[in-house]
Chains A and B, each alone.
Chain A
Amino acid sequence: MAVHNAATREIVYKVAYHGPGMCGKTTNLRFIYNTLPGRQVGNFLVLDTAVERTLYYDFLPVVIPLDDDYKVRFHLYTVPGQAYYDASRKLVLRGVDGVVFVADSRGDRMAENEESLAMLKRDLTDVGLDYATVPLIMQYNKRDLANVIPADLLTEKLNERGVRSFGAVARDGVGVFETLSAIADLVTGRN
Chain B
Amino acid sequence: MPAKYVELKTADVELMEAELRTLCARAGAEAVVLVDLSGVILASHRVSDKIDHLLFAALLSSNFAATEELSRRLGVTGFRIMYHEGKRQNLYFDKVADDTILVVLFRDSNALGRVRLFTEKSIAELAKMVTAATRPAAEAPILPQAHAAAAYLAQMATSIQPGKL
- Which residues of A are at the interface with B, using a C-beta cutoff of 8 A? 1-8, 11-14, 35-36, 42-43, 45, 56-57, 59, 61, 64, 66, 68, 70, 72-75, 77, 87-88, 90-92, 94-97, 128-129, 134, 143-144, 167-169, 172-178, 180-181, 184-185, 188-191
Contacts and interface: CB of A to CB of B under 8 A. Distances in A.
Contacts of A168: 165
B63 to A, nearest CB: 9
B160 A143 contact: no
Given A42-B52, A87-B73, A174 B165 contact: yes
Interface of B: 1-10, 12-14, 36-40, 42, 52, 54-55, 58-59, 62, 65-66, 69-70, 73, 99, 137, 140, 142-143, 145-154, 156-157, 160, 162-165
A141 to B, nearest CB: 11
Contacts of A2: 5-6, 137, 140
A75 B54 contact: yes
A175 B165 CA distance: 9
A11 B146 contact: yes
Nearest to A127: B1
8 contacts: A3-B36, A4-B5, A4-B7, A6-B10, A11-B149, A91-B62, A167-B165, A174-B165
Given A1-B36, A14-B39, A91 B14 contact: no
Nearest to A72: B149
B35 to A, nearest CB: 11
A35 B145 contact: no
A18 B65 CA distance: 18
A64 B154 CA distance: 12
A160 to B, nearest CB: 20
Contact of B151 (A35, A59, A128, A190): A190
Contacts of A45: 55, 58-59
B40 A174 contact: no
A7 B59 CA distance: 23
Contacts of A184: 149-150, 153-154
B37 A188 contact: no
A119 to B, nearest CB: 15
A134 B58 CA distance: 21
Contact of B162 (A43, A66, A91, A173): A173
A12 B62 contact: no
